[in-house]
Amino acid sequence: LTGTSREQRAFQYLLTHAIPGDPHHILQTFDQWCYHCEHLSWAHAMSGRIVERVLLERAPLRVLELGTYCGYGTVLLAQGLPPGARLYTIEGDPRHAAVAEKVIRLAGFSEQTVELIVGPSEEVIPRLREKHGLMNANLVFMDHWKRCYLRDLQLLESHQLLAEGATILADNVLFPGAPHFLQYAKTCGKYHCKVHRARLEY
């Protein structure tokens, strides 16, 4: 009825209630919106703790996120980066990317720390090295279309964009599910796999 999308309404709520330049408060305010106003699908508090633990353990200098959406996961990743690290995040929907860009900058992250790339992941991934300067990624966070997980992992492999010992975090592989991705990761012999169980978001 308002003529604005859920994502835009969530950002307006952020503008009103969140503390600019405070990533933790940005995420808390997003959570409040989703618990009490409207549901939006993204990495929630329990998944967030898994992400935070991996960032602390691995201290990756080059991080790639597939599926920016409104920027929740991006802010979560960016706030845990070690000094000098860079995050590349890919969003296929220009409308979502427009909201995410404002969220990321509201949280206080510059383009030198977080680069938002707009376009389909299958088109962006082959150009990451030449156009965006990503030689390889130490950590990849997948939270886009589940049917694209396997295709995009194999694209990253074929373009040699995974650093030695890289970590792949893939959200929601059991529900709604990415069975082909999961089977490949478990049987191809390239990865050590661990499934983290978490409750449904919000």
Catalytically active residues are 143, 146, 171-172, 201
Q: Long-range contacts of range 186-194, CB-CB < 8 Å, 24 or more positions apart? A: 190/157
The distance from CA 28 to its chain's CA centroid, rounded to whole angstroms, is 17
Q: What is the DSSP letter of 159?
A: T
- Would you state the structure tokens that stand for residue 22, as one six-digit string? 């405070």
Whole-angstrom distance, CA of residue 145 vs CA of residue 46: 20
Whole-angstrom distance, CA of residue 113 vs CA of residue 136: 16
Q: Estimate the share of the chain in helix, then strand, then coil, as percent rounded to the nearest 5.
A: 50, 15, 35
Neighbours of 176 (CB within 10 A): 8
Contact 89, 117 (CB under 8 A): yes
Spell out the residues 6+ positions from residue 79 whose beta carbon is closer than 8 angstroms to its own.
23, 24, 27, 107
Spell out the residues 6+ positions from residue 174 whose beta carbon is closer than 8 angstroms to its own.
182, 195, 197
